[in-house]
Structure 1
Amino acid sequence: MSARILVVDDILANRRLMQAKLEAKYYTVLLAENGVQALQVAETEQPEIILLDVMMPGMDGYEVCRRLKGNPATSHIPIVMLTALSEASDRIRGLEAGADDFLTKPVDDFALMARIGALNRYNAVALELRKREASGVKSGALSEDENEALERGANILVVDTNPRTIREIRYPLEAAGHSVLTLEEAEGRSALMTDPLDIVLLALSDQAYDPLRLCAHFRTTGSTRSVSIIVMAHDRDREIVAKALDLGATDVISTPVIPEELIARVATQTRRARYVEILRQRVDKGLELSVVDQLTGLYNRRYMNNQMALWLRRSAQGGSPMSVVSADIDHFKAVNDMYGHEAGDRVLQEFANRIMVNVRPKDIVCRPGGEEFLVIMPETSGDLACTAAERIRRAIAAEPFEIDSASGKEIDITVSAGVATYTGDDDTAADMLKRADKALYVAKSAGRNQVKSVAA
């Protein structure tokens, strides 16, 4: 999988060397020689990954990283920091600044390509979700509640056969506010099925089990497919680490584990996974908004038209009956005129609730607009549809509607309804809706608060 990668380094030879390595793997390379230029290129070109040198004059890599992550236009871009500094404190500082990974110079080509491959997989998911939600909230512009979700403690599963290592890992993570379980504890409590799991810490080195098979299992099991997997391994086990990254691991930490680095990497992976989950929720919400009436929670006209066409095709193919009930609140304009639109909205909401209580699960209740409602009744004859419409009519008229919760004021509401039934191959959705509206008009002309059906 190719990608556009921004290389930021103040030394020309380093930039050219990295460019040659990446282009040999068919990546497109962008270059920046200092922090200011990197900020400009990142915002205008939107690369998929940034390789950022730490030691630069003027603005160092840590400050560049903080600014990139603080800008909604670039906060989603993964950053790998590159430096000759090898102290754990330097890695921790980079991760706390917002970096997604940290590699020490001279950069090992094997490790670099493995990291880029892992970040590419993450980008493929996140980019698609950002495109889908582009018409809604801008990427990176998270609400207060969403930011709280990003920072909340993680549920972590530790898979390691060394009890001493587990203790060394568990204490700092729990002190940082995370919940930690071992594989044995998880199996005993069925936690994988009942608790939302955020991260798996999977030991690769010196294990009695096959860690790669377990890594693949987590990636192919529905309940753990989207979980972040941080693998723990000795520096000498780079080949098994690369294989784990190919199988879907999202990050690597060297053993023996340094607690501060572990906490920083867990925080990075948690934020990344939850950011993707927030994007998924936004996309789902956007899809819901496109077909659901926000006042009543019923389906809107767009969904109604699609379902009408779908069930007409099924009736034509299988010969099963299908009916629709068109319902209209009697004298609804007078409610708005006398009591105000807020009272009218309360009537519409309660009206929708009473309809939903009095239809079958397979019936599709829609609000095309205003005080008009339509119930699509699959596999339903005209007589049964009339009976159902009469049940709805009685439920609406049975009890008054509250229009003011403070005063408890109530008014009586009634409904008129018209029923139409599918008549055969030549029947269309427009024909059925026209007959239902005609029957509704007959019901209103006959005095309202009744159900009528008009033959084809």
Structure 2
Amino acid sequence: MTARVLVVDDILANVKLLEARLTAEYFEVVTAYSGAEALGKMEASDPDIVLLDVMMPGMDGFEVCRRIKANPRTAHIPVVMVTALDQPSDRVTGLEAGADDFLTKPVDDAALFARVRSLVRLKMMTDELRMRETTGQAMGLIDPSTSFIESGIAGRILMIEDRPDSANWFATALRKENDVACVDTFEEALVRVRGGDFDLILVSLGMRGFDGLRLCSQLRSLPEGRHVPILVVVSDGDKRKLHQALEMGVNDYLTRPVDTNELVARVRTQLRKKRYADRLRHNVQLSLEMAITDGLTGLHNRRYMTRHLDNLVAQAHKTGKQLSFVIMDIDFFKRVNDNHGHDIGDEVLREMARRITANVRGCDLACRYGGEEFVVVMPETEVAYAYTIAERLRKSIETTPVAISRAPNKLNITLSIGIAGSMGPADSADSLLRRADQALYAAKNSGRNRVVADAA
């Protein structure tokens, strides 16, 4: 995973050291040497994460962080304080200013890379929601003022700890502002998450009865736990567990002995982020239901794809990563309608949408383009990889007949598929679509039931 990292420090040697470490791991690095310069770079370079020194002349890191988080355009960008300050009170001040984490100088490389990758991975999910919401706003379906909110920060918290004294300490510290439930077994934790509507899950990784890391993995695999932030508690110095937890997607961590104020501050931060993500998901869902979903298949419709494609192409230009556009057509679909009726044709289209959805990634945009044509837009994807996915889908369609509700009860269907990839800053959504369409025609003209990638 790569990302654009903004490094902010008033000492040249510190900037160069972090820049060298990050560049060696293939991160793109942007630098700033003051708070004012950092705020300017936020607008100009659109970083994925900020590594921010605290002790700077003029505007210190705490104030820079407050301004980043107060700006609706940058509030979602994670900020990590990199500082010699290591007291709990310093961390609390940073967390209250909006920081996502603290790294203490001298910075350990493993801790640096694990935290940067973890926060960037979480940001990517938010970015996708923000991009789709932007499309809804451009179409007049969403009021922009409804996204950036400072909701109340109280929430429902599930505490998972099998040591009664520890569980009671955490519950007591958090119950002043939150509704806290405590469980002490692996099975009960899974049952509560499946049945509950929790805003945060707090997991001790030092439990005696079962593996807390395995539990975190299981929680992330549950549909009900996928979007719930997980905050883990690790023993001081247990870097292995901490790095494993960050790699599997936990949102934040605390090290023992835990400071009460830091616990409360980190919980507030995660609850605030969840409120923001929940509102984004709500707005995106609202826009889809209102105007941009195909009523037959449940996929996005052509109108949504057309507007969203412009955003995705612009994003591809900004990041320099290729975007792949896949267009597919059901071969001889008119025969299905003529021979079996339009209701059977509709059944085939719904099944086609289901199979497309099953074969693409969550970040891909699947649409019904019109009639018997479907489109999948694949961000940050090379054409060669898109070809592999398209060929897998084509074989699935060819080898597995579509079940229908009356005789002959199943139909053999095939697909013709065309693929094109974005070609740099001069490229446009229209030209990308046109090249994919030409590749589709080439697939049809060369015998159908095949995948053709644009050679341009």
Coarse TM-score class (shorter-chain normalised) = 0.5 to 0.7
Distance 1:71 1:34 in 2: 18
Distance 1:161 1:202 in 2: 10
Distance 2:234 2:181 in 1: 19
Amino acid at match of 1:98: G
- In structure 1, what is the equivalent of residue 97 of structure 2? 97
Amino acid at match of 1:128: E
2:112 is aligned with 1:112 = yes
**Where do 5+ consecutive residues of structure 2 fail to align?**
295-300, 305-329, 345-403, 407-456
- In structure 2, what is the equivalent of residue 165 of structure 1? 166
The answer to whether the 8 A contact 1:153-1:179 is kept is no
Q: Which moved more, 1:81-90 or 1:283-292?
A: 283-292
How do 1:120-135 residues align onto structure 2 when only pairs under 5 Å count? Answer: 120-135=120-135
Change (3 A) 1:169 1:318: farther
Distance 2:2 2:192 in 1: 37
How do 1:228-243 residues align onto structure 2 when only pairs under 5 Å count? Answer: 228-243=229-244
Amino acid at match of 1:217: Q
Distance 2:10 2:173 in 1: 37
The answer to whether the 8 A contact 1:205-1:237 is kept is no
Alpha-carbon offset, residue 151 of structure 1: 2.5
2:201 is aligned with 1:180 = no
- In structure 2, what is the equivalent of residue 316 of structure 1? 337
Change (3 A) 1:287 1:103: same
- CA displacement 1:68-124 (0-9 Å, x = unmatched): 111112111100011111110000000000011111111121111111111111111
Distance 1:247 1:44 in 2: 32
Change (3 A) 1:286 1:144: closer
- CA displacement 1:400-439 (0-9 Å, x = unmatched): xxxxxxxxxxxxxxxxxxxxxxxxxxxxxxxxxxxxxxxx
* Matched position secondary structure for 2:208: coil
- CA displacement 1:133-184 (0-9 Å, x = unmatched): 113449xx96469736x43422211111211111110012111234333256
How do 1:201-216 residues align onto structure 2 when only pairs under 5 Å count? Answer: 201-205=202-206, 207-216=208-217
Distance 1:317 1:273 in 2: 50
Alpha-carbon offset, residue 278 of structure 1: 1.7
* Matched position secondary structure for 1:192: helix
Alpha-carbon offset, residue 7 of structure 1: 0.3
- In structure 2, what is the equivalent of residue 153 of structure 1? 154
* Matched position secondary structure for 1:47: coil
Distance 2:4 2:255 in 1: 28
Alpha-carbon offset, residue 20 of structure 1: 0.5
Change (3 A) 1:318 1:114: farther
Change (3 A) 1:22 1:321: closer
Change (3 A) 1:155 1:146: farther
Alpha-carbon offset, residue 37 of structure 1: 0.2
- CA displacement 1:202-257 (0-9 Å, x = unmatched): 11135331122111111111211222111111122111110111111111111121
Change (3 A) 1:65 1:16: same
* Matched position secondary structure for 2:134: coil
TM-score (normalizing by structure 1): 0.62
2:275 is aligned with 1:254 = no
The answer to whether the 8 A contact 1:174-1:180 is kept is no
Alpha-carbon offset, residue 41 of structure 1: 0.3
Give the root-mean-square deviation of aligned CA atoms: 3.4
Distance 2:92 2:179 in 1: 18
How do 1:255-404 residues align onto structure 2 when only pairs under 5 Å count? Answer: 255-291=256-292, 316=337, 319-320=340-341
Change (3 A) 1:109 1:186: same
Alpha-carbon offset, residue 12 of structure 1: 0.2
The answer to whether the 8 A contact 1:173-1:180 is kept is no
- In structure 1, what is the equivalent of residue 22 of structure 2? 22
Change (3 A) 1:317 1:79: farther
The answer to whether the 8 A contact 2:194-2:222 is kept is no
Alpha-carbon offset, residue 191 of structure 1: 3.5
- In structure 2, what is the equivalent of residue 195 of structure 1? 196
- In structure 1, what is the equivalent of residue 429 of structure 2? none
Change (3 A) 1:2 1:185: closer
Compare CA radii of gyration and give the structure with the larger one. Answer: 1
Distance 2:188 2:231 in 1: 20
Distance 1:98 1:286 in 2: 29
* Matched position secondary structure for 2:94: helix
The answer to whether the 8 A contact 1:157-1:183 is kept is no
- In structure 1, what is the equivalent of residue 218 of structure 2? 217
* Matched position secondary structure for 1:57: coil
Alpha-carbon offset, residue 42 of structure 1: 0.6
* Matched position secondary structure for 1:233: strand
**Where do 5+ consecutive residues of structure 1 fail to align?**
294-299, 304-308, 324-377, 381-456
The answer to whether the 8 A contact 1:321-1:379 is kept is no
Amino acid at match of 2:340: G
- CA displacement 1:247-286 (0-9 Å, x = unmatched): 1111111112111101111111112223222222222222
Distance 2:264 2:205 in 1: 19
Alpha-carbon offset, residue 40 of structure 1: 0.4
Amino acid at match of 1:9: D
Distance 2:77 2:220 in 1: 23
- In structure 2, what is the equivalent of residue 57 of structure 1? 57
Distance 2:338 2:158 in 1: 51
The answer to whether the 8 A contact 1:47-1:77 is kept is yes
- In structure 1, what is the equivalent of residue 308 of structure 2? none
* Matched position secondary structure for 2:149: helix
2:46 is aligned with 1:46 = yes
The answer to whether the 8 A contact 2:62-2:97 is kept is yes
Amino acid at match of 1:87: Q
The answer to whether the 8 A contact 1:234-1:254 is kept is yes
Distance 1:208 1:278 in 2: 37
How do 1:136-151 residues align onto structure 2 when only pairs under 5 Å count? Answer: 136-137=136-137, 143=145, 147=149, 150-151=151-152
Distance 1:270 1:250 in 2: 11
